[in-house]
Amino acid sequence: MALIDPFQRAITYLRLSVTDRCDFRCVYCMSENMTFLPKKDLLTLEELDRLCSSFIRLGVEKLRITGGEPLVRRGIMTFFDGMSRHLDSGALKELTLTTNGSQLEKYAADLYAAGVRRVNVSLDTLDEAKFAEITRWGRLAQVLRGVDAALKAGLKVKINVVALKDFNEVELFDIAAWCADLGMDLTFIEVMPMGDIGNENRLGQYWSLDDLRGSLAERFTLTDLPDRTGGPARYVKLGETGQRIGFITPLSHNFCESCNRVRVTCTGEIYTCLGQEGKSDLRGPLRASEADAPLEDAIRAAIGLKPKGHDFDYSRQELGGQMSRHMSHTGG
């Protein structure tokens, strides 16, 4: 029996964080001095497999692996290799991941062998100095080698760019051209009010994608596309280059009415809405019994609490609906 929420939306998409750790410290995602979870609190790779297998039995067809940085989790390819059996059976239609790209040079070929066909790479600037500034610990050259390795391995790459006012505005056309040259899709994301990030001013960082789209329209002919990839992005085609560009707008235009996804953290907490604090525990029932029935009951109960939508709002020039947890905790 499929997972149907109280608003008759079928839940077919699970975003699973496999670690809260990352080798970057992006300013809109983490504090520089993060305190990470003790290992005992994290689901083991075997538990992650059981959890995902239960969701797939209940109708989840798309599984996206996130973090932190998922590829820094020790032994993570064992998990990907295990999930490939659900691709082989046809129960799982897509296995994919979101990554900062730092480990793709090492793992791209193995990911393809496990059945991964698409990866999203989070990359907000092509300027080496600005990249070091926004990631704190990252090195742009390492990420660019990872992107090249992914393309060489046969993976389709989409670049995710968080739109940040007074930071990457001037790179809009450079990033678009780079993606067009390499045949990569590009999605811009509005910055979201998540977590305690010290002196960073989210309202000051906010660059409306309506404004960004307007800038693109000054140089290109934009045609709206009906394409839906199971996520929140809305797409346009640039007439002059033929490339597809997506916009994820949780703030200026939310997309809650069609939400088909839930998020599970690396500790087994399920969040049925990224923009709400409500959560349910799946680790308890997962560890309480070797049988899967208690876990599946807990999943159904959590889906039954899924809200209609979130409360993010910058329209009043204040941080309405601001979340206290870090993006790295929920997995984006």
| Tens digit of each residue's pLDDT, the chain (332 residues) | 789 999 899 999 999 999 999 988 888 777 878 888 999 999 999 999 999 999 999 999 999 999 999 999 999 999 999 999 999 999 999 999 999 999 999 999 999 999 999 999 999 999 999 999 999 988 999 999 999 999 999 999 999 999 998 899 999 999 999 999 999 999 999 886 544 444 445 556 788 899 999 999 999 999 999 987 656 789 999 999 999 999 998 765 556 777 888 999 999 999 988 667 789 999 999 999 999 999 999 999 999 998 887 654 444 344 444 444 445 555 55
Say what the pLDDT of residue 278 is: 80
Annotated binding site: 15, 22, 26, 28-29, 64, 68, 98, 122, 158, 192, 256, 259, 261-263, 273
Q: Is the peptide bond before 67 cis (omega within 30 degrees of 0)?
A: no
CA distance 180 to 184: 6
CA torsion, ordered 55, 56, 60, 63, to nearest 10 deg? 90
CA distance 53 to 76: 16
Say what the pLDDT of residue 311 is: 57
Annotated binding site for GTP: 15, 64, 98, 158, 261-263
In angstroms, the Cα distances linking 33 to 25, 83, 125, 136, 140 are 8, 33, 23, 11, 21
DSSP assignment of 54-76, as one string?
A: HHHHTT--EEEEESS-GGGSTTH
Q: Which domains does the chain have, with CATH numbers?
A: 13-330 (3.20.20.70)
* Residue whose token pair is 């599946």: 296
CA distance 72 to 78: 13
Say what the pLDDT of residue 140 is: 97
Say what the pLDDT of residue 195 is: 47
Annotated binding site for [4Fe-4S] cluster: 22, 26, 29, 256, 259, 273
